[in-house]
Amino acid sequence: MKRILFLTLALLLTACGNAAVEPTVTPVNVSAIQTSVVQTVMAQATQTARALPTNTTEPTPVPTETPMLPPTETPIPAPTLTPTPALCDDAIYIADVSVPDGTQMNPGQEFVKTWRVKNTGTCTWTRGYQIMWSYGDNRMSGQATALPREVQPGEEVEISLVLKAPLKSGTYSGYWVLRNNNGYTFGQRLSVIITVP
């Protein structure tokens, strides 16, 4: 390394035209030469670095994937049950007291059909309330009939009709309904189903 430095220095001096001067190499001179060379190399490296273009913009961030989370369920509130307002006039069938459906009757036989019914409304059934024919294939000679007594809400009552079996053989059905004193029908239909042999 020392030789290379010495040769470089000799060439520099020769190029300047001082061929007659012979350099003396001493340890002090070699150290000064080395320092000078290092400073020159560093200066050139700094100038080269300054000459290179610099990136003044921020690097473009690489997009990262957002993990997909499962959809969350929105809780559905429980429905609020509002009580159904009670009807003024309403009725349900409780039982057949006489002549259950499917009873066999002789042609033209007269009979009394009785149902047990409950007042499930909020109004009292008065004597102006009736049972009347609603629909079916035969009335069996039945007629609209007034209730036997007043019936308070929540009470049960037995309602009867006088009917007559048809003369021809077959199965016959009729459906009866309650009607209030204003002419409106209400409640469950009450059935009469008989067989004539």
Which structure tokens are listed for 33? 């030469």
Domains belonging to the chain, first-starting first, are 2-49 (no CATH), 91-196 (2.60.40.10)
For the chain (length 197 residues), average pLDDT per consecutive 10?
Answer: 58 52 55 66 63 58 62 68 76 97 96 98 96 94 95 97 96 97 95 97
Count the neighbouring beta carbons within 10 Å of the beta carbon of residue 167. 10
For residue 92, the tally of other CB atoms under 10 A from its CB is: 11
Taking Cα atoms as reference points, which of 154, 155, 144, 150 lies closest to residue 179? 144
Collapse the DSSP code of 42 into the 3-class scheme (helix H, G, I; strand E, B; otherwise coil) and give the result.
helix
**And the tokens for 25?**
């190499």
pLDDT for res 86: 76
Single out the residue of 135, 138, 136 nearest to residue 185, CA to CA. 135
